């Protein structure tokens, strides 16, 4: 919880705590360690696209490996990086 973030809610202006994007990814990876679920895979991919280079990839990699989701994370990260490379080189 030390990585959580406090932000104002758009409609009310009240302050609320949110998980960091990294911890959200880790929770979804943990749920999927045994059997990947499409919804969680799409969510993780969306977080990667929104957060991009702002993510602490080393933190996610370390913790994903700790609960046997390292290969799943590596595959998602690799697919994201390949897609970004295609876009940046004008091939996609």
Full domain range(s) for residue 56: 20-88
Residue segments in the chain with a per-residue pLDDT below the cut of 50: none
Q: What is the pLDDT of residue 2?
A: 67
For residue 5, what is the DSSP state? Answer: E
* 2 is a domain residue: no
Residue 30 lies in a domain: yes
Tell me if 6 is assigned to some domain: no
How much is the pTM? 0.82
Flag whether 3 is in a domain: no
Is 79 a member of any domain? yes
Q: Cα–Cα distance between 87 and 92 in angstroms, integer? A: 5
Q: What is the mean pLDDT of the chain?
A: 90
Q: How many domains does the chain have?
A: 1
Residue 56 lies in a domain: yes
Q: Is residue 74 part of a domain?
A: yes
- Structural domain includes residue 59: yes
pLDDT at position 71: 94
């Amino acid at each position: 919880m030390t990585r959580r973030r406090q932000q104002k809610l758009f409609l009310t202006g009240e302050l609320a705590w949110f998980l960091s994007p990294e911890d959200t990814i880790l929770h979804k990876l943990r749920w999927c360690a045994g059997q990947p679920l499409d919804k969680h895979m799409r969510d993780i991919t969306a977080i990667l696209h929104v957060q991009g280079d702002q993510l602490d990839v080393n933190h996610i990699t370390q913790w994903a490996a700790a609960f046997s989701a390292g290969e799943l994370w590596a595959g998602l990260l690799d697919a994201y990086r390949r897609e970004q490379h295609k876009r940046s080189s004008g091939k996609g």
